[in-house]
Structure 1
Amino acid sequence: MSLRCPVRFERLARRFVSATGGNVAVLFAISLLPILGFVGAAIDYSRASKARTAMQAALDSAALMVSRDLSSGAITAGQVTAKAQTYFTSLYTNTEATGITVTASYTAKDSSGSSTVLLRGDGSVGTDFMNLFGFPALGIGSTSTATWGGTRLRVAMALDVTGSMNDDGKLGAMKTAAKSLVDSLRASAQGTEDVYMSVIPFAQMVNVGSSNKGANWLKWDVWEESNGSCSFWWYSTKSSCESAGRTWTATSRNQWTGCVTDRDQPADTTKDLPTNAATRFPAVSYTQNGSDICPQQILPMTSAYSSSNAQTIKNKIDALTANGGTNQPIGMAWAWLSLQTGAPLNTPAKDADFKYTDAIILLSDGLNTMDRWPSYGNGQTQFNGQIDARQKLLCDNIRASATNTSRTVIYTIQVNTDGDPESSILRYCADSGNFFATTTASGISSAFAQIGSSLSKLRIAK
């Protein structure tokens, strides 16, 4: 017995050591705790991420609201942090994180003319699972910056008022959309100089105002060629009258209603100041079937900040009527000129301490049909693309004039309710992504809204 028992116990010991039946349960029990920890950590981190996203959205909105208050004088620099906290608290609706503190720093106008407010939010989210491992909370934080005042806008609207704009509700839709743009850009202005706008109604010609008949930037050779009478009734132009040895008596300039035609080439595609005969603007009469059809007078650059000025711009748009043929180059040329200082429109000079964005918006409902040169068009179509060629050169010159600190952004809109082909020249002239084509009058509103959004982003940027 004494010899056999040790042998039996030895066998049992060996069987116990080599047994594997309970290993799975043991291993599972050992690994269960870290598995639960990883799952719990993922849940806690997901809650914290959601809280941080909500914090960022609230900070962004609060930063813009504080920037508006600062720029309007509603609060002082010393009130920035308290106001930021108040705005944030009203905007933050997430319940995962509580007691978030907001700090703010304000930098007044710097060398670029920009002012900046920086908001920072800090808080924490209590953990459910990670607390078991000694992590009772997860910290969250985020920042948001609002910058304003660094970029001022000069926006020239060249609006087609040719006869076809009377069709399909286009003229009314254009007026509504253009006035909405005035309101939209005015809302982003925080001072008189922030947003200026001009209105350039165009058909075959533009109207610079009959009160300018004595201006030295006009010339009268084209006017006098066809407006007057010959001492012998047979001749109807100055050149033919005088060639026949007769006397030509020009019509009084007091009868001029303000229309000018394209400048002599190549000045028709440049922004050259009107300092000599080659660069001055030819006064003309613009009649159709015996009636004067000169468009509404140009409105030079006007600040859109005050309600009265904004109404002046909108009143000009409201007064537009439609008649005549299409000459997009003259509309674009005068829009470009309205962005320049000096004669003829005397746009206010720019402040060197600020950045500026110049923009041209050209809307037309048709293809080019006529300009100053009869061989280029007949009111129905242009011959051999010469008008488009002048417009292409004009757009090239606008782009070529850009510098590191000054450029002109071009937006074009084609309102095509007549089944015309897409205007290749309008697409060519527009900067990338800035050509808008619509086949309905209602599409005008959408185009102007997108342009307004694009321009407003230059006023306040997060």
Structure 2
Amino acid sequence: MRSGNSTAFTALLRRFAHDTSGAIAIVWALASIVVVGMVGAAIDYSRTVNVKEEMTMELDGAVLAGARFLASSTNIAASKQHIVDTFTQTAALAIGDAAKFEISPADVTINETEGTITATVRGQVRTAFMKVLGIETMDVSVTSQANYADKYLEIALVIDVTRSMLDSDGSGSTRLASLKKAARALIDTLIPDDTSDRVRISIIPYSQGVRLSSSDASTVTNGYSARCVTERVGSERYTDAPYTAEFIGGGSGYMIDWPPDYMKPEDVPEYYDRRGASFGACPSQEVLPLTQNRQTLLDTIDAISAVGGTAGQTGIAWGWYTLSPNWNNLWPTASEPLPYGNEETLKYMILMTDGDFNDVYKTIDITERHCTWYYPFRCTTTTKTWWYEHYNQNWDSANRAKNLCTAMKASAANQGEGIAIYSVYFNPTSNAAAEATMRDCASSDSKFTYAANGQALTQTFVKYAKEIQQLYLSK
């Protein structure tokens, strides 16, 4: 019996010694942890790469936002904070809880000599699988760099405020209301806040003329007008020579063709004085010379109203005068345009109309004979030049506008490249003649736009503002 039992026990021990099924399970259990860790590491690494790409995109956007900020402002500290705030806001939406990151103004470097912005963000991506190996986060770091402009920008906004601007814009609003909305969007883009000090904008509302202060109007017209100013008709008509070289016309602002058949020459002064005072169609809002004051610009836009016909060439001429250093003695010191040869300054015009240019001004010399009642044979004669207006005479208004635009584009501004002109024809109804004028005025076909409704006008103004920013960022 003992011998049999001993043999059975020995066989049992032998089988136990050679049984590896439990060892395989243990080995597999241990190996599976490694395998899962390796697969998880690949997944977590892929997630980290994706998060890093998102961070890079958001940081690129924030740095470009900083470049745009510096395009309108010289405030370095505020621009750094703007980059930090922009990245923090956009990255929080794009990345969510996948990672935590750190960025402060100290992580942003602005090299004013080179004109570059460099920003770095460091963060940690939370792991989903590698935490089983004790690794809860993976470090990431991204850096972005962009150039920024150190130039100063001067823009003349020349806008049609004629009576037709009270008509429909094609989308349920008036053209005037849509113009105001578009102009505000333009200002929001170029002068986003009160720190903006690189960009100055002038506003020139035009109809049959433009309005200046009484003293300025009298000065530039040599005492002829104290309310509405128009254009020049002499040798300086298509130049930006100062008013001292050739005075500006001061038309009555009332649409009339010369001469009325019933009028005697000696009655002309009284007639024009009476019409100019009672029926003038000068814009209610004065020209606003160059300013960086955002609120002043917005208040001017809000105040404009619509009246009269369309002497577009007058608006163009006065837009030029607000950009020309030759006119510095007319404008306040803070509004004086910088010299054409200033390499840090770029000048632009944005021109808008909703129809044909149809009013022109001319002069006529009137000789008056005055006799005293008590000495009937004692008479004197005086000759005076009077301004009068023609309505839509042989498209002369459009031709004058084109000549002015051509001269502006050939001026010494922008380092000899001339003032760059953007134009837009804004009307639900297409008009081939009006479009042709605006297209000819623009510096290129790409700088002309036909806007069929108010929404398109706003999009156009914002597009122009952003393109101007990009152009002078690259200068």
Aligned twin of 1:333: 317
Aligned mate of 2:397, from 382, 387, 402: 387
Alignment of 1:211-222 (within 5 A): 211-212=215-216, 214-215=218-219, 217-219=220-222
* 5+ residue gaps, structure 1: 1-41, 129-137, 221-252
Instruction: State yes or no: 1:299 paired with 2:279.
Output: no
Q: Secondary structure in 2 aligned to 1:431?
A: coil
Letter in 1 for 2:109: Y
Name the CA shift for 1:446/1:456 in 2 (closer, same or farther; >3 Å): same
Q: TM-score, normalised by structure 1?
A: 0.65
In the alignment, the residues of structure 1 paired with residue 117 and residue 468 of structure 2 have an alpha-carbon distance, to the nearest angstrom, of: 21
Aligned mate of 1:204, from 202, 208, 213: 208
Letter in 1 for 2:179: M
Name the CA shift for 1:155/1:45 in 2 (closer, same or farther; >3 Å): same
Note the C-alpha offset of 1:412: 1.0
Letter in 2 for 1:272: A
Alignment of 1:32-431 (within 5 A): 50-63=50-63, 72=75, 74=77, 90=92, 93=95, 104=107, 106-110=109-113, 114=115, 116-120=116-120, 143-148=143-148, 150-168=150-168, 169-187=174-192, 190-191=195-196, 193-212=197-216, 214-215=218-219, 217-219=220-222, 256-276=225-245, 279-287=246-254, 290=275, 291-305=279-293, 310-343=294-327, 345-346=330-331, 347-350=335-338, 355-373=344-362, 378-379=390-391, 381-383=392-394, 385-401=395-411, 402-404=413-415, 407-421=418-432, 423-431=435-443
Name the CA shift for 1:100/1:258 in 2 (closer, same or farther; >3 Å): closer
Aligned twin of 1:455: 468
- Maintained 8 Å contact 2:84/2:103: no
- Maintained 8 Å contact 1:100/1:124: no
In the alignment, the residues of structure 2 paired with residue 269 and residue 430 of structure 1 have an alpha-carbon distance, to the nearest angstrom, of: 16
- CA-to-partner distance for each residue in 1:57-93, whole Å, 9 max, x for gaps? 122244357776996465799x999999978975772
Deviates more, 1:444-453 or 1:155-164: 444-453
Name the CA shift for 1:317/1:74 in 2 (closer, same or farther; >3 Å): same
Note the C-alpha offset of 1:408: 2.0
- Maintained 8 Å contact 1:269/1:391: no
Instruction: State yes or no: 1:443 paired with 2:456.
Output: yes
Letter in 2 for 1:425: T
Name the CA shift for 1:431/1:43 in 2 (closer, same or farther; >3 Å): farther
Letter in 1 for 2:360: D
Letter in 1 for 2:281: I
Name the CA shift for 1:101/1:302 in 2 (closer, same or farther; >3 Å): closer
Name the CA shift for 1:164/1:141 in 2 (closer, same or farther; >3 Å): same
- Maintained 8 Å contact 2:148/2:473: yes
Letter in 1 for 2:396: Q
Letter in 2 for 1:275: T
Aligned residues: 373
- Maintained 8 Å contact 2:156/2:203: yes
Q: Secondary structure in 1 aligned to 2:152?
A: strand
In the alignment, the residues of structure 2 paired with residue 446 and residue 331 of structure 1 have an alpha-carbon distance, to the nearest angstrom, of: 23
- Maintained 8 Å contact 2:153/2:346: yes
- Maintained 8 Å contact 1:188/1:460: no
- Maintained 8 Å contact 1:414/1:437: yes
Note the C-alpha offset of 1:55: 2.7
Q: Secondary structure in 1 aligned to 2:360?
A: coil
Deviates more, 1:166-175 or 1:331-340: 166-175
Q: Percent identity?
A: 26
Name the CA shift for 1:65/1:359 in 2 (closer, same or farther; >3 Å): closer
- CA-to-partner distance for each residue in 1:417-455, whole Å, 9 max, x for gaps? 345325212012113322121233443222223223333
Letter in 2 for 1:324: G
Name the CA shift for 1:267/1:82 in 2 (closer, same or farther; >3 Å): closer
Name the CA shift for 1:58/1:434 in 2 (closer, same or farther; >3 Å): same
Name the CA shift for 1:296/1:105 in 2 (closer, same or farther; >3 Å): same
Letter in 2 for 1:393: N
User: What is the root-mean-square deviation of aligned Cα atoms in Å?
Assistant: 4.7
Name the CA shift for 1:318/1:84 in 2 (closer, same or farther; >3 Å): closer
Note the C-alpha offset of 1:414: 0.8
Name the CA shift for 1:84/1:71 in 2 (closer, same or farther; >3 Å): farther
- CA-to-partner distance for each residue in 1:24-79, whole Å, 9 max, x for gaps? xxxxxxxxxxxxxxxxxx999976764443132122244357776996465799x9
Letter in 2 for 1:261: T
- Maintained 8 Å contact 2:285/2:303: no
Q: TM-score, normalised by structure 2?
A: 0.63
